Amino acid sequence: MTDISSEMVYPILPIYLVVTLGASPAILGLIEGIAESLASLLKVFSGYFSDKIKSRKPFAIIGYASSTLGKFFLYISNSWSYVLFARVIDRFGKGVRTAPRDALIADSSEKGRRGRAFGLHRAMDTVGATIGVTLAYFLITRFKGNLKTIFLFSLFPAFLGVLFLFFVREKKPQKEASFKETAAGPRIAGKWRALDKRLKLFLIFTFIFTLGNSSNQFLLLRAKNLGSSIPGVLLFYLIYNIVYALVAYPASRLSDKIGRRKILVLGYLFYGLVYFGFALNSSLNMCWFLFGFYGLYTGFTEGVEKALVSDIAPANLRATVIGLHATLVGIGLFPASLFAGMLWKFLGPASAFYFGGIMGMFASAGLWFALRGL
């Protein structure tokens, strides 16, 4: 329900900013960098306090409710500063909810089956996204391009998503031996040296990759830049979500059987190829294939990454470590989106995608060596 709401809004937001409000791609990068970085920086703190009070559900409710409020401010916006405020509130909610929610999923699944658990979550998330984009397409054609109408309609599924959370029942985490422990508990206590070596390498490569992983809204803006109409942009994004939804569960489940490493390496390889494709492409028709392959990247990585971190983290600090992973990603998101916007403005759209493609290839090669045995 939440992703029906979010993805009604997300693919039209760059067009609303750049075309309707007259903001530049650099402003788009600034807004997305600030909003996404805030979300990720909050995740380690919400994860820590979730572990501390041994509860996940309240953080999820507060987080999803905040995102609903952010969409209301987007509806009443009349300048890019309003959009910034709306995105900050929305991403604040994401920052509060993500690590506790992911820990709730991990707590409720067995260690050897977490890939499929997170894959199911990502698949359902993306089914909602597919429905949301489809609704946005029909609304924008029905109301002749009135984007604010879509913002208004997005509030209804967002509210229902919060309502359903009150029926969730928590399952307390089972103790697992992942780190050396003392009578006082795990010795991790926030110390980097206590982390598993492979987890540390994974976090480092994830951070480096994030520096080239700018907001998806630049992909949508690129399609518009190549001559797509607003409904056309929505259809491209719909293809991405359909592929993502179809791939997320089987890819994550396969990682339970053959290991996380092979799936993640392949996913980052797809990312690099897609970004090189966007850099070289000058045909609108080729965007159908590029958005489809981008769905493969997301489907191969998001659920598998969460399962990998959950496997290695100690049970009673699982939300904290999940949040740490997200925070490291967040540190890189702001410069990534801002840098992509500046490259686009001063050197042209292709330069932003060349940089992302190089970083994707580097991450793919690095993870192949860093995750040996997984």
Contact 39, 98 (CB under 8 A): yes
Q: What is the CATH number of the domain that holds 140?
A: 1.20.1250.20
What is the per-residue pLDDT for 29? 78
Amino acid at 168: V
| Residue ranges making up the domain that contains 38 | 2-163+192-370
The model's pTM = 0.72
Taking a C-beta distance cutoff of 8 angstroms, is the pair 67, 93 a contact? Answer: yes
- Cβ atoms of residues 108 and 117 within 8 Å: yes
Decide if 109 is inside a domain.
yes
pLDDT at 177: 45
Tell me whether residue 299 is in a domain.
yes
Q: How many domains does the chain have?
A: 1
Does 183 map to a domain?
A: no
Q: Residue 174: inside a domain, yes or no?
A: no
Integer Cα distance of 198 and 12 in angstroms: 39
How far CA 97 is from CA of 76, 100, 245, in Å, comes to 25, 6, 22
Q: Among all chains, which residue has been given the structure tokens 């797509």?
A: 228
Reduce the DSSP state of residue 177 to 3 states and report it: coil
Q: Block means of pLDDT (10 residues each) for the chain, length 374 residues?
A: 88 83 82 77 82 87 92 89 90 87 84 81 85 87 79 92 88 54 41 71 85 84 87 89 89 88 90 93 91 92 85 74 78 80 88 91 87 73
Q: Does 185 map to a domain?
A: no
- In the numeric block, which tokens belong to residue 38? 């805030």
340 falls within a domain: yes
DSSP secondary structure string for all residues of 237-289: HHHHHHHHHHHHHHHHHHHHHH-HHHHHHHHHHHHHHHHHHHHH---STHHHH
Strands (E), the chain: 181-182, 185-186
> Is 197 part of any domain?
yes
Helix/strand/coil for 304 = helix
- Assigned domain for 286 exists: yes
SS3 73: helix
